[in-house]
Amino acid sequence: MSSSENIKACNDMKIINTELESISKVVENCDKCELAKTRIKTVFGKGSHNPLIVFVGEAPGAEEDKTGMPFVGRGGRLLDTWLSKYNLNLDMVYIMNAIKCRPPKNRDPLPSEKEACRFYFEKQIELLKPKVLCGLGRHGFGNLVSLDSKLAYGKMRGIVHHYKNIPVIATYHPAYILRSSKEQEKVFEDFQLLLETLKNNQ
Ligand code: URA
Ligand code: SF4
């Protein structure tokens, strides 16, 4: 990169950092849906602001609600092991959810809640500009690619889907693998496809 290209890239990153910061401030005060009444903290996202991969989960759980950080509970620790198995870390990836506030008792997010939160979700991905997206489970993936509710989620695996021209890979949610550990091999297959897709899209 020439020095003038370098300066431009630096300035672009400053704008991206500032915009992500300001959306996250708006989210902290958001009351567009009922979840604002029961949340402790909003959970915006964590990781690189110039990521190769963005992972999309469902919604904050109890630990995330307390800390304001995504995937810090048991599921998050399992996700960390998947990342380190493939030499990925938060300098290269970003982790976020379909919605920013915890649903009471970890119930599934309602379509109306996902819709209310969608503006933030889309802006965040637009700014992060990942090379590849990875949906963690039906809700995270389904926020990126419209899902046929009659089709088993597993059928989405092994195929490169798209969200606004960005390739999307489906894998299982870590919470599901905590309950069905024999399925973890499939997650590793999905990570292989994820890395292959990344290589083809760099
Ligand atoms: N499950 C999710 O989908 N997201 C989190 O941040 C934590 C658990
Ligand atoms: Fe706002 Fe999203 Fe939280 Fe609902 S879930 S209050 S839309 S930030």
The fold of the 3-200 domain, in CATH, is: Uracil-DNA Glycosylase, subunit E (3.40.470)
pLDDT, tens digit, 9 for 90 and up, residues 53-71: 999 999 999 999 999 999 9
Which residue's CA is the closest to the ligand 2 atom numbered 4? 33
**Other CB atoms within 10 A of residue 95 CB:** 25
Least reliable range by pLDDT among 6-10, 111-115, 121-125: 6-10
Pocket test for ligand 1, best of 90, 96, 173 (most atoms within 8 A of CB): 173
- Checking if the pLDDT of 73 tops 90, the result is yes
- Checking if the pLDDT of 2 tops 90, the result is no
Which residue's CA is the closest to the ligand 2 atom numbered 2? 117
Max distance between CA atoms of the chain, in angstroms, equals: 53
Q: Report the pocket of ligand 2 as residue ranges, CB < 6 Å.
A: 27, 30-33, 35-36, 42, 99-101, 113, 116-117
Residue 112 is predicted with a pLDDT of 98
Compute the average pLDDT of residues 85-94: 98
pLDDT, tens digit, 9 for 90 and up, residues 150-195: 899 999 999 999 999 999 999 999 999 999 999 999 999 999 999 9
pLDDT, tens digit, 9 for 90 and up, residues 126-143: 999 999 999 999 999 999
Report CA(99)–ligand 2 centroid distance (Å): 7
Dihedral sign, Cα of residue 25, residue 133, residue 166, residue 202: positive
Ligand nearest to the CA of 59: 1
| C-alpha separations of 144 from 100, 137, 168 in Å | 15, 11, 8
Tell me if the pTM is above 0.85. yes
How far is 177 from 127, CA to CA, in rounded Å?
30
How far is 10 from 30, CA to CA, in rounded Å?
30
Helices and strands counted in the chain (H then E): 7, 6
Ligand nearest to the CA of 34: 2
Report CA(87)–ligand 2 centroid distance (Å): 33
